[in-house]
Chain A
Amino acid sequence: KNQVEQSPQSLIILEGKNCTLQCNYTVSPFSNLRWYKQDTGRGPVSLTIMTFSENTKSNGRYTATLDADTKQSSLHITASQLSDSASYICVVSDKTGANNLFFGTGTRLTVIP
């Protein structure tokens, strides 16, 4: 069964600290993996998208890694800011058609001053 699991479910960190969010998946065949940031009451916004051959991709203070062998991804946030408070959703796509996105349930990050 194709699944995407994220951990932790929620996380509270102090402003300025770093943190790492995890995503494990069983989706096959694998096409790509995305991390989305979703602010409360808003739609998800794409942070990064990674294909099978990419190990690391950065977007400002966000760095995503992908290990296609172990089917794991992480999202590292550096020098967190209050505006980083949001849900972060891992989404994995397979190659079988339009109905082919598998969503994690997200990690709720709260950055406190």
Chain B
Amino acid sequence: DVKVTQSSRYLVKRTGEKVFLECVQDMDHENMFWYRQDPGLGLRLIYFSYDVKMKEKGDIPEGYSVSREKKERFSLILESASTNQTSMYLCASSLFEGYGYTFGSGTRLTVV
């Protein structure tokens, strides 16, 4: 069974901290994505990657960066966490563009 694993279910961080959210997939998928999900706004794309060391900005990349050093791992980095980054973060991967998406269980991040 395909799997996308996010390293933490819940995180609490202080304003100004550097935060790393890790995502690993075991399906040999080319594409990986980071979304955030907020009530009433649905899922919004932060960054995506279509290959190792490649990254593309999504709809809301400000305040975030990403790293993809290996095919199976896609990291989301909050350089200096702020309270407005409190959200649910979802990682996903897909084999083909627009098809076969699998989501991780999500990380609920609270910035205080």
What is A's interface to B at a CB cutoff of 8 Å? 31-32, 34, 36, 41-46, 49, 89, 91, 93-95, 97-101, 103-106
- B98–A46 CB distance below 8 A: no
Q: Which residues of B contact A97 (CB under 8 A)?
A: 97
B104 closest partner in A (C-beta) = A43
Interface residue B48 (Cβ < 8 Å from any Cβ of A): yes
Interface residue B73 (Cβ < 8 Å from any Cβ of A): no
- B103–A43 CB distance below 8 A: yes
How far in angstroms is the closest Cβ of chain B from A98? 5
- A100–B97 CB distance below 8 A: yes
Size of the B side of the interface (Cβ < 8 Å), in residues, is: 29
Q: Which residues of B contact A32 (CB under 8 A)?
A: 98-99
B47 closest partner in A (C-beta) = A99
A94 vs B56: C-alpha distance in the bound complex, in angstroms? 18
Selected interface stretch from B11-19, B37-45, B62-70: B37-45
Interface residue B90 (Cβ < 8 Å from any Cβ of A): yes
Q: Which residues of A contact B45 (CB under 8 A)?
A: 99, 101
A43 vs B43: C-alpha distance in the bound complex, in angstroms? 11
- B104–A101 CB distance below 8 A: no
Interfacial residues of chain B within 14-47, with CB under 8 A of chain A in the complex: 31, 33, 40-45
- A94–B41 CB distance below 8 A: no
A34 vs B43: C-alpha distance in the bound complex, in angstroms? 14
